[in-house]
Structure 1
């Protein structure tokens, strides 16, 4: 699958945009608003936002959802204990406040008494007990329940393994409006963890009434948040959310309706923006320079890393560390971000992003301290490749590269295949492109060789990035290291209340991970966008979801 230099140059000039969990758009080519805001019959500005999404929603069950796409809509329609506001400030949700015991193990949340579900039933502590317990219940088979919720709650792992009854989980309702949580051990990042989807409440009566159909269509969903789904099913390529008039803080919510359509071609999204059909568009590489000086252009770096997941279980070659090391070093990441993405994305050199977590004593950034652990180095790649082939007793290797079926990945897979095949003699890459939801399933079943994948921050802690790679921790690539597990164990247990030792254990764990050639970092994502100046107070989020719309509005 080698390409000529001429073909590669053509590729680098083609359309490409960054992958987004939920992308959107508005009016393009003038640098101005794409027309006046729509007005209702009484002259009021219609509070409607029209957006796009990159894929269909895999699941709207908060106990089962694992991706950032679902996280966006679940947080729009469901109120948890707290909600993230401007600058990711914790704002009251169903919880008014909380107290923490001196040993850090017991968290007591005092809940408001004026919150109701869309069916009129009150939101109580029992809904949190049920939602969290259902996530851990082995019958639910929840990935987040297994690797996130059960990991922090008292008896969580034993309950999830079926070794203890559900009632022994560390959650209880002390009356209707006091929710008491007991942790297995102190969790320094617990406050940021509880704004994620797995920790949302669920109405037991409603869930059980709908059984297997729960969360498969708009009429099998129950909202207690700012918005509610009014058009959607599990295969829909478009959906609608409307203001939830029963929301406890409905007076603050100005947006009456949000519409979404799946658009995989970024040029289509920009065209829709230019026609005033949508209110936000991600900009592909070939359009960045054209729109850079326009008033509605913006770009910002996210806490989102993209990398090649190297499955050590399906392909014998990838079980060889030298082969993996060769692949990691054999492609030019700087050219990838400069010429293909061209949106401000940065080269990634490890498993934890830039400007995300700082040393608690010195204030130095995690990435600055550990430096570049995975660099482009063709000579080193070739040396590792030769060693790997010798150990395998072959001079040829075939590897499949899995990616989403978007315009971005069509170009990126071509680029990566060309780089790898050119620099690693004897390597043949075949590309497999599938819809997002199918890739998630293939990933879950470890039915791939190399996968282009990405992750956003779930909570503000290095563990949010490193926990995926512990043995049997859901890394879905067969990686296992006793030393890595030991370091993560120390950070999460013995050093839990010692911030400096804990941080430094994470630093060492990342070095072990990258020293094992476990994954191939590519880039830390940035978004280049056109955003309608009519949109106000839409807050980008550094973790948990992409945007907050509770306080948003449409202006002149």
Structure 2
């Protein structure tokens, strides 16, 4: 089945766009307008839950980074309002009969914000840089290995970077060779890791590249302004040099880091910001508001066990016990209360259909790890016996926002109450620091999440292959590796067989208790009727701002 047909089956690509309404208060102007004789400036004001961890396409790994990369940088294609790839720097492409060679025709009117043309060479350099082991990219190897020819060999130092299967045929033709036919490759090109980079600029900036507004170039709808790697506020300003600038209606989008829900609510109610996320204690109060919006999400939250930093977590029975010892239904109903629901597997609900029947993958795979206190206690007793101890102490790593604080305190309490002899020490730190600890495998137990990068179960299942760039658990299974690898090789063009392997691989993952699924997220928000044309993507960058506008 072609990717474009899968995209049509998505039912949750929600549009955060509603009709504008008059306030009835003539003395109060909406935030971001001018009242003098100058032309009206179109501005929308938003909040962000954390500072942006990285604006380097090769080093970005998280939701915030990819949102702002997508707003300021454009790849070969961009997801449109229907979540379908639309022309970006590429105007068209053709694929060889064997599915291994993709030839992209690039537009000749796209420029970087320093005036340089955007060329095929920028893509070649960016992709080579992303898999070059010297770059130490997590996503480069994860996204490209097994897809782009020789990506794995280059990343392992077994081949030179110029052996990567990407080359420029002149300035405006990009030729990509794949390891195997990849049915979702077109959607991959919309993702931040595949964005172009201006080689001359990167080399001029050196270690300063992507650390501040002055050390970045844009070729997308907006430029980022007043930003550095430690900023708690920044702006997206319309890029007048963008090839499709006529489509961009907004002059400016402002962003401010606010972690306290009450502060966010105060800013929304006074009209200072146009959207805010509601925490569980606020949902009931505002669920009848005209501004109340619940958006389905494809982020799955889970507990991640580092098998290399704890003797206890190296024990499968201990991990299996932890996976079943907390009440997820109570967690989503009482702690979150925002439309999220318990997750009992990894691939999310309403993400992708089975190729032959159209049934939802999650429904077919079923509940693989549910709350089961009796089973948890049995696993716990076996694990303690194997370890020769009657107690276990674990450090629980998580982000430092209030919602996460409530969530991890609940889970920690459930685990320590239900599993006799377990002591949990919570460690909450800013997200960027948590990501660094994760990258260095310097944690024991961690609450984290994963959102899809493209429309295929592979985006979830590829996480846990041996030595995978995002594995970071010490897990290794020849059986699991074989099942996942075959979906990209032996069965690359046989969707029926691919999905059978995905189903089997997911069962192996939870039989081995590699992670403990917690919940699939939804977002309960207050969204101003001023906002039009801001789209929520089910994969890739969460928000698409290119078509944003302000209602009259």
Relative to the length of structure 2, the TM-score reads 0.94
1:54-85: per-residue Cα shift (whole Å, max 9, x none)? Answer: 11111111111111110000110001101111
Asked if the contact 2:95–2:101 (Cα under 8 Å) also holds between the matched residues in 1, the reply is yes
Deviation of 1:39 after TM superposition, in Å, equals: 3.1
User: Which of these residues, 33, 40, 43, is aligned with residue 39 of structure 1?
Assistant: 33
Separation in 1, partners of 2:305, 2:319: 7
User: Which of these residues, 512, 515, 533, is aligned with residue 511 of structure 2?
Assistant: 515
Which residue of the partner structure matches residue 6 of structure 2? Answer: none
**Count of residues in Structure 1 that have an aligned counterpart in Structure 2:** 528
User: Which of these residues, 479, 484, 488, is aligned with residue 488 of structure 1?
Assistant: 484
1:338 aligns to what SS in structure 2? helix
Which residue of the partner structure matches residue 104 of structure 2? Answer: 109
Separation in 2, partners of 1:172, 1:441: 33
User: Which of these residues, 366, 386, 397, is aligned with residue 391 of structure 1?
Assistant: 386
Deviation of 1:44 after TM superposition, in Å, equals: 5.1
Alignment of 1:59-98 (within 5 A): 59-98=54-93
Which residue of the partner structure matches residue 180 of structure 2? Answer: 185
1:24-65: per-residue Cα shift (whole Å, max 9, x none)? Answer: 9xxxxx997996435322475431111111111111111111
1:486 aligns to what SS in structure 2? helix
Asked if the contact 2:146–2:180 (Cα under 8 Å) also holds between the matched residues in 1, the reply is no
Which residue of the partner structure matches residue 421 of structure 1? Answer: 416
Deviation of 1:87 after TM superposition, in Å, equals: 2.1
Separation in 2, partners of 1:289, 1:164: 57
Which residue of the partner structure matches residue 366 of structure 2? Answer: 371
User: Which of these residues, 519, 544, 549, is aligned with residue 548 of structure 1?
Assistant: 544
Which residue of the partner structure matches residue 237 of structure 2? Answer: 242
Separation in 1, partners of 2:545, 2:24: 20
Structure 2 residues not aligned, in runs of 5+: 1-15
Separation in 1, partners of 2:281, 2:22: 17
Which residue of the partner structure matches residue 149 of structure 1? Answer: 144
Separation in 1, partners of 2:24, 2:123: 43
Asked if the contact 1:58–1:437 (Cα under 8 Å) also holds between the matched residues in 2, the reply is yes
1:450-502: per-residue Cα shift (whole Å, max 9, x none)? Answer: 10001111110000011110111131111111111110111111000001000
Structure 1 residues not aligned, in runs of 5+: 1-23, 25-29
Asked if the contact 1:267–1:284 (Cα under 8 Å) also holds between the matched residues in 2, the reply is no
Q: Does 1:159 pair with 2:159?
A: no
Deviation of 1:162 after TM superposition, in Å, equals: 2.0
1:318 aligns to what SS in structure 2? coil
1:299 aligns to what SS in structure 2? strand
Deviation of 1:242 after TM superposition, in Å, equals: 0.3
Asked if the contact 1:149–1:198 (Cα under 8 Å) also holds between the matched residues in 2, the reply is no
Asked if the contact 1:145–1:198 (Cα under 8 Å) also holds between the matched residues in 2, the reply is yes
Deviation of 1:203 after TM superposition, in Å, equals: 0.7
Separation in 1, partners of 2:322, 2:400: 22
Which residue of the partner structure matches residue 494 of structure 2? Answer: 498
2:186 aligns to what SS in structure 1? helix
Separation in 2, partners of 1:371, 1:446: 31
User: Which of these residues, 32, 45, 49, is aligned with residue 54 of structure 1?
Assistant: 49
Alignment of 1:31-430 (within 5 A): 36-37=29-30, 38-40=32-34, 41-42=36-37, 45-430=40-425
Which residue of the partner structure matches residue 12 of structure 1? Answer: none
1:254-300: per-residue Cα shift (whole Å, max 9, x none)? Answer: 11111111111112111110111111010111111111111110002
Asked if the contact 1:33–1:296 (Cα under 8 Å) also holds between the matched residues in 2, the reply is no
Separation in 1, partners of 2:330, 2:237: 43
Which residue of the partner structure matches residue 18 of structure 1? Answer: none
Separation in 2, partners of 1:248, 1:229: 17
1:180 aligns to what SS in structure 2? strand
Separation in 2, partners of 1:149, 1:501: 22
Separation in 1, partners of 2:413, 2:322: 12
Deviation of 1:151 after TM superposition, in Å, equals: 3.2
Separation in 2, partners of 1:528, 1:393: 46
Relative to the length of structure 1, the TM-score reads 0.93
1:75-111: per-residue Cα shift (whole Å, max 9, x none)? Answer: 1000110111102121110000100001000000011
Separation in 1, partners of 2:499, 2:24: 46
User: Which of these residues, 511, 519, 533, is aligned with residue 537 of structure 1?
Assistant: 533
Change in CA separation of 1:416 and 1:32 when aligned onto 2, cut-off 3 Å: farther
Task: Give the CA RMSD over aligned residues.
Answer: 1.6
Change in CA separation of 1:53 and 1:519 when aligned onto 2, cut-off 3 Å: same
